[in-house]
Homo-oligomer: A and B are copies of this chain.
């Protein structure tokens, strides 16, 4: 998606500090952190929000939660909070599905 700022991060057109990356996901710090540790996990595939997720992406969604678990482990987080905003009315600010991971 040409105009998606998160897609630009995924393809490295926009620079970000990469906290974690694999074939399916990229994780980088939230630009407006609400906690000492606050990163965003995004699938590299452009999906606007959870509303647009279909059966075909179910495994990707499961992997998203397991990736959050992995990032938390790698960063030695004792406890953490995950949050996902869905739709403008739900507080979603960028139209590319993303999961917040906060701790500290």
Which of A64, A80, A92 has the most chain B CB within a 10 Å cutoff?
A: A80
Q: How many copies does the complex hold?
A: 2
What 0/1 readout, one digit per residue, does chain A (28-68) give for beta carbons within 8 Å of chain B?
00000000000000000000001101010111111111101
Contact call A69/B53, Cβ cutoff below 8 A = yes
Q: Which residues of B contact A59 (CB under 8 A)?
A: 58-59, 62
Q: Are B86 and A83 in contact (CB under 8 A)?
A: no
Q: Is the CB of B72 within 8 A of A81?
A: no
Could you tell me if B82 and A78 are in contact, using CB atoms closer than 8 angstroms?
no
A89 beta carbon closer than 8 Å to chain B: yes
By a CB distance below 8 angstroms, the chain B residues around A82 are: 50, 82-84, 86
